[in-house]
Structure 1
Amino acid sequence: MVAMNQETLLDLWGKARYWIAFFGIRRLVSAVVTGVVAVTLVWLILRPSEPPIEASLPLATLPVVTTTSTPSYVTVHVAGAVKSPGVYRLAPLARVVDAVTAAGGPKSDADLERINLAQVLIDTEQVFIPVRTTRSVTPSIAPRHRPTTTIATPRSPTQQETPQSNNALIDLNSASSIELDALPGVGSATAKAIIDYRTSQRKFSRVEDLLNVAGIGPAKLAALRDLVTVAQ
């Protein structure tokens, strides 16, 4: 068996020497190297591609940041029967009572029953505190989403001695400029506008005709409704 193997090896070696002699040692080496390179290239081309490193890494999830612009303060104008009227900055969700307190508190003649002190303030609103009158005036209910806006202005000492202080209604068709000027919220300019309207229209037919006078709106009409009358 050993002798047979030796003969086989000698036979292979003889064939190898033949081919080496036939092709030359350099050609054989080149052929072997070329074959190795070819096999390597084929393996590189046909091998399955590996996923990139980035694809194998888990995606990082960033927390969602929600930004809400909440005002840091509200600015309101406090006027009327308060000790220090002016513009004040208050905390968000502040209420009318906070605005009155910031303005030094109400005056002794302030009619706090006619406003909603618990009303939440809105930026750029005006909070006007009315003056208490001697007549019984129906309390006004503040709007649900807006701070109370005044419907009256403070009266001067001379105005308190006018007929309205004695529970006398002012006749819009016969009142003088002084009597009209004494009404809350009516100054000399508005009194003149009332007389001019009365002159041009001959007379007032009803109290609601005041809405046709420049400078008088629904709020001021509500303040004057129980203080004036129209003689028929």
Structure 2
Amino acid sequence: MVAMNQETLLDLWGKARYWIAFFGIRRLVSAVVTGVVAVTLVWLILRPSEPPIEASLPLATLPVVTTTSTPSYVTVHVAGAVKSPGVYRLAPLARVVDAVTAAGGPKSDADLERINLAQVLIDTEQVFIPVRTTRSVTPSIAPRHRPTTTIATPRSPTQQETPQSNNALIDLNSASSIELDALPGVGPATAKAIIDYRTSQGKFSRVEDLLNVAGIGPAKLAALRDLVTVAQ
């Protein structure tokens, strides 16, 4: 058995020397290293991926402990218009009305309408009850009015008194331009035309001669007939 092993080893050593002599020691070592690296890379690529340790471990769920601490009482300071002001301990969720009652109740001059009796009390707060005060009323003074000044507006010629109002007729042969201008429907131009006609043609012999004056027609003559006259 030992002799066989020695022969096998000698045979392998002989083959190794042959390949070393054939390829050279450097080429043989390089080929062996390259083969080992190639086998390693193939194994790394083809091996099944293992889950990470963190993912494989189950998450530990810790129980959530909720603690709700309800105070056994609230401490408030009651001051103002109460019979026994001071610091009082009341039950949780007590209201302002409970604090006022604990302080002996409100005084006769307490103004309870200015506070919210239904408000829930908060620990260490102050409850102040105000005193009813009389509101002063400021007398109102009526504003003084300035005297009103009436300014007379001059009347237009149609609004002024006509000869008919005082029963005085205008004489066409002696009336001035101002008197003629005061007649209804007669302006400065028509008054000048009447005077020019009277100067150039002579005195009017009758009222109907106004139709010969420029600017006077039958309608205007009818309006002037009862207001003018012709003195002989």
Q: TM-score range by the shorter chain?
A: 0.3 to 0.5
Q: Distance in 1 between matches of 2:125 and 2:210?
A: 25
Q: Is the 8 A contact 1:76 1:87 kept in 2?
A: yes
Q: CA deviation at 1:103?
A: 2.9
**Is 2:44 the counterpart of 1:44?**
yes
Identity %: 99
> Bigger shift: 182-191 or 7-16?
182-191
Return the alpha-carbon distance in structure 2 between the equivalents of residues 85 and 212 of structure 1. Answer: 112
Shift in CA distance, 57/126, structure 1 to aligned 2, threshold 3 Å: closer
Contact 1:79 1:128 in 2 (8 A): yes
Change over 3 Å in CA distance of 1:119–1:51 after alignment to 2: closer
1:228 Cα deviation after fit: 83
Distance in structure 2 (CA, Å) of the matches to 1:148 and 1:227:
39
- Secondary structure, counterpart of 1:78 in structure 2: strand
Change (3 A) 1:130 1:119: same
Q: Is the 8 A contact 1:74 1:124 kept in 2?
A: yes
**Aligned CA distance change for structure 1 residues 51 and 219 (closer, same or farther; 3 Å):** farther
Mark the CA change 1:165 to 1:17 in structure 2 (over 3 Å): closer, same or farther: farther
Question: Gaps spanning 5+ residues in structure 2: where?
Answer: none
Structure 1: 5+ residue stretches without partners? none
8 Å contact kept, 2:157–2:182: no
Aligned equivalents of 1:113, 1:48: Cα separation in 2: 82
Kindly provide the CA deviation profile for residues 81-101 of structure 1, in whole angstroms up to 9, marking residues without a partner as x: 963699999543326873343
Deviates more, 1:43-52 or 1:171-180: 171-180
- Larger deviation: 222-231 or 105-114? 222-231
Distance 1:97 1:76, change over 3 A: same
Mark the CA change 1:120 to 1:10 in structure 2 (over 3 Å): closer, same or farther: closer
| Deviations 1:45-95, CA, capped at 9 Å, x for gaps | 222222212213332435546698989999999999963699999543326
Q: Which moved more, 1:67-76 or 1:87-96?
A: 67-76
The answer to whether the Cα contact below 8 Å between 1:169 and 1:228 also exists between their aligned partners in 2 is yes
- TM-fit CA distance, 1:137: 34
Identify if the C-alpha distance between structure 1 residues 123 and 38 changes in structure 2 by more than 3 Å, giving closer, same or farther: closer
Rg comparison, structure with higher value: 2
Contact in 1 for aligned 2:75/2:123 (Cα 8 Å): yes
* In 1, Cα distance between equivalents of 2:59 and 2:42: 35
Q: 2:212, 2:102 → 1: CA distance?
A: 36
Contact 1:127 1:147 in 2 (8 A): no
The residue number in structure 1 matching 2:81 is 81
1:177/1:192 contact within 8 Å kept: yes
Q: 1:131 to 1:62 in 2, by over 3 A?
A: same
Distance 2:78 2:214 in 1: 24
Residue matched to 2:60: 60
Is this contact kept in 2: 1:77–1:127, CA < 8 A?
yes
Of 91-100 and 41-50, deviating more is 91-100
Say whether the 8 Å CA contact 2:158–2:183 is kept in structure 1.
no
Alignment of 1:68-107 (within 5 A): 83=83, 91-94=91-94, 98-105=98-105
RMSD between superposed Cα atoms in Å: 31.3
